[in-house]
Homo-oligomer: A and B are copies of this chain.
Amino acid sequence: MPKDTGTRAEQRARTRRTLIRQGRRLFAEHGYGQVGLAGIVAAAEVTKGALYHHFDGKAALFRAVLEEVQQEVGASVAGAADAHTDPWEQLTSGCRAFLTASTAPDVRRIMLVDGPAVLGWREWRALDEASSAHHLREALASLVDAGILAPQPVAPLANLLSGAMNEAALWLADSGGEQDLEDVWSALSRLLESLRDN
Q: Contact residues of A with B, CB < 8 Å? A: 31-33, 112-114, 116-118, 120-122, 125, 150, 152-153, 155-157, 159-168, 170-171, 174, 179, 183-184, 186-188, 190-191, 194-195
Q: Would A168 and B159 be within 8 Å (CB), given that A117-B118, A187-B152 are in contact?
A: yes
B163 near A168: Cβ-Cβ < 8 Å: yes
Q: Would A156 and B168 be within 8 Å (CB), given that A117-B32, A118-B117 are in contact?
A: yes
**Cβ-neighbour of A167 out of B150, B152, B160, B194 (below 8 A):** B160
Q: Would A168 and B160 be within 8 Å (CB), given that A113-B117, A195-B194 are in contact?
A: yes
A157 near B187: Cβ-Cβ < 8 Å: yes
**Cβ-neighbour of A190 out of B152, B155, B164, B168 (below 8 A):** B152
- A32 to chain B minimum Cβ distance, whole angstroms, is 7
- A112 to chain B minimum Cβ distance, whole angstroms, is 8
- A189 to chain B minimum Cβ distance, whole angstroms, is 11
- A27 to chain B minimum Cβ distance, whole angstroms, is 11
Q: Give chain B residues whose Cβ lies under 8 Å from the Cβ of A159.
A: 167-168, 171, 184, 187
Q: Would A117 and B187 be within 8 Å (CB), given that A163-B165, A164-B163 are in contact?
A: no
Q: Would A121 and B153 be within 8 Å (CB), given that A160-B187, A160-B188, A163-B165 are in contact?
A: no
Q: Give chain B residues whose Cβ lies under 8 Å from the Cβ of A125.
A: 170, 174
Q: Give chain B residues whose Cβ lies under 8 Å from the Cβ of A156.
A: 168, 171, 179, 183-184, 186-188
Q: Give chain B residues whose Cβ lies under 8 Å from the Cβ of A150.
A: 190
CA–CA, A90 to B140, complex, Å? 29
Q: Would A122 and B195 be within 8 Å (CB), given that A160-B187, A166-B167, A190-B152 are in contact?
A: no
CA–CA, A150 to B194, complex, Å? 11
CA–CA, A41 to B73, complex, Å? 42
Q: Give chain B residues whose Cβ lies under 8 Å from the Cβ of A112.
A: 116, 121
- 15 further interface pairs, Cβ-Cβ under 8 Å (given A113-B116, A152-B187): A31-B120, A33-B117, A117-B118, A125-B174, A150-B190, A156-B171, A156-B184, A156-B188, A159-B167, A159-B171, A159-B184, A159-B187, A160-B164, A160-B165, A163-B165
